[in-house]
Amino acid sequence: MSRYISYENGDPVPYPEITEPIILLCGSVASFDHSSGISYRCNTCFAVVHSIGMPKQCKELYDMEEVVNKLKGKK
């Protein structure tokens, strides 16, 4: 199944599995950003998830998770 979002008449066609809200490591919830059509936006700080606009605390949590996953042998 393709994970791309197709466009018809300029409107994104959402796939339920892509557009479901996700829970972030900080405990906040991120919703699919329909205006961009490709990203999630935090409902607390309104930053795009994994962007350079993420707060420093959030970026540190994700960096720490990557290190822990590498130590566990996960990708």
Split into its structural domains, the chain has a count of: 1
Residue 11 has pLDDT above 50, yes or no: yes
Do residues 14 and 34 lie in contact, with contact meaning Cβ atoms separated by under 8 Å? yes
**Has residue 1 been placed in a domain?**
no
Per-residue three-class SS string for 18-34 = HHCCEECCCCCEEEEEC
Report the share of the chain in percent with pLDDT over 90.
21
Q: Is residue 18 part of a domain?
A: yes
pLDDT digits (tens, 9 = 90+) for 22-52: 888 888 999 988 888 788 999 999 999 888 8
Task: Name the CA dihedral angle for 13, 31, 57, 66, rounded to a multiple of 10 degrees.
Answer: -50
Please check whether residue 2 lies inside any domain of the structure. no
Is residue 21 in some structural domain? yes
Q: How many helices (H) and strands (E) does the chain have?
A: 2, 5
- pLDDT of the residue at 2: 38
Q: What is the DSSP string of 61-72?
A: HHHHHHHHHHHH
Q: Which residue segment(s) compose the domain that 16 sits in? A: 7-72
